[in-house]
Amino acid sequence: MEITASLVKELRERSGAGMMECKKALTENAGNIDAAMEYLRKSGLAKADKKAGRVAAEGRIVLAQSGGKAALVEVNSETDFVGKDDNFVNFANTVAKIALSTGAADVEALKAAPYEGGGTVEEARQALVAKVGENVQVRRLAKVDSANTVAGYVHGGRIGVLVELTGGTEELARGIAMHIAAMNPPYAKAADVPAEFIAKEKEIELAKMTEKDKAKPAEILEKIIGGKIAKIVNEVTLTGQPYALNTDLSVEAVLKKEGADIVGFQRLAVGEGIEKVVEDYAAEVMKQAGLA
């Protein structure tokens, strides 16, 4: 029997599974839509996609590393409860290992990569959705593959950091990663701070000054503003911040002491940038009961 687009569409609407999974199910069952539906249910794919529209802002950041190669993956769930479920944790850890071992450069390539035991990462994700009953998404991937000094750090499964240094040791790189996890600097060095940011901060600092200060000679005024801007730049740059593991020294001083320099870093935090839906269940119950 010919597997038509309308037949695939009908099965998708009934099952909620992906287009390719529906086409495969129909092919395997000679176009019999009821048998194909049963096939999808048995394989755990039915209704997986129907949960895809639900907000998944919880989950885990997972790390896999081997020498100078490291990968961070963010895998999201709808609730923190599922984010701690063994099935979810095992899936996330496996995906991180796959990200490390394959040439996947982005999430879409990672989803298409072979999964342990057969199928793809995307197919394993859909099976997990059916098992845990929540939307699960492989959302972000960060990777580094370098001959330089590389380290990764994950804090509580919620924040992950990759750091690359020239010189230094992996222990130092990991310490810097811990600092970045805690302090979340927007920029690595002063040279990375955009000129627009500096200009805006100068404007703000000038507006805060008294008329008496503004009346000072231009070179004095520029020196005062310059000092304030230098302090702000230190606050927003990794190298300018006091080192979290030894606040007597700046990160720049620690790197210099160890004969190292920062090449770059990547930081992922669970759910950042996702607009979470806050549900007032009590109000909803009252509304349905006609009491609100």
> How many domains, the chain?
2
pTM of the prediction?
0.75
Contacts of 143 (CB under 8 A, 6+ apart): 69, 70, 71, 72, 99, 100, 105, 162
| Nearest one of 80, 119, 84 to 98, comparing CA atoms | 119
Question: What are the C-alpha distances in Å from 250 to residues 184, 204, 240, 254?
Answer: 15, 26, 6, 6
CB 251 within 8 A of CB 265: no
DSSP 8-state class, residue 115: P
AA identity, residue 291 = L
- Same domain, residue pair 32 and 65: no
Spell out the per-residue pLDDT of the chain, length 292, in tens.
788 888 888 887 777 677 788 888 899 999 998 888 878 766 666 555 555 556 677 999 999 999 999 999 999 999 999 999 999 999 999 999 999 999 899 999 999 999 998 899 999 999 999 888 888 999 999 999 999 999 999 999 999 999 999 999 999 999 999 999 999 999 999 999 999 999 999 888 888 887 877 788 878 888 888 899 999 999 999 999 999 999 999 999 999 999 999 999 999 999 998 866 555 545 555 555 555 5
List the CATH number of the domain containing 83.
Answer: 3.30.479.20
Within a domain: 187: no
pLDDT tens-digit map of 111-145: 999 999 889 999 999 999 988 888 899 999 999 99
Domain that holds residue 10: 5-47
pLDDT tens-digit map of 16-66: 677 788 888 899 999 998 888 878 766 666 555 555 556 677 999 999 999
List the CATH number of the domain containing 11.
Answer: 1.10.8.10
Element (H, E) at 189: none
Domain boundary among 123, 145, 167: 145
